Amino acid sequence: MTPLSFARAGAIGSVLTGIGSSFAQSSQYKIQEMQSRTMAKVAKLEGEAQALQLHHRYNKTMASNVVMAAAQGRSGASVEAMAGAARQQFNWDADFTRLAADIEAHGHQSQAAQYGIAAESAMMGGSLSAIQGGLQQYATSLYKIGG
């Protein structure tokens, strides 16, 4: 093996090692991106489940209130007023629950987008750095061979 082919082989090996390293780092970011997207879906589903629980609780409360009002002999107008107040509270709670879940989901989606950008940057930057390092190593070897 001549010194020139040895220098070429060393530079190519350096480039391949660098590109492999950048691929590994990019893969880690891709995994984190997928985890964040999954967490966004989980947050959305948890919000929907909490909203369903609120609705179930509201239905039970309303049924109980109607039975209590009937047992106490209250008029329809007072039952309507109680139902309206309970409905307003339920609407507020349900809206707040949905909005909180949406905010959490959007946070995870934003984080996933950042990981996606980081993965692309790691791949591009790492590859370019590896090529530059390999060329620099090759140039240094050529200089040493030339004396």
What is the pLDDT of the chain when averaged over all its residues? 86
What does the domain layout of the chain look like in residue ranges? 3-146
Cβ count near 145 (within 10 Å):
12
pLDDT digits (tens, 9 = 90+) for 9-50: 887 888 888 888 888 888 898 999 999 999 999 999 999 999
Please state the pTM of the whole predicted model.
0.68
Find out whether 48 and 102 touch, Cβ atoms under 8 Å.
no
pLDDT higher than threshold 90 for residue 111: yes
Per-residue pLDDT band for 147 (boundaries 50, 70, 90) equals low
pLDDT digits (tens, 9 = 90+) for 60-70: 888 888 888 88
pLDDT of residue 41: 94
Find out whether 55 and 90 touch, Cβ atoms under 8 Å.
yes
Q: Which residues contact 29 (CB under 8 A, 6 or more apart)?
A: 115, 116, 118, 119, 122
pLDDT of residue 5: 81
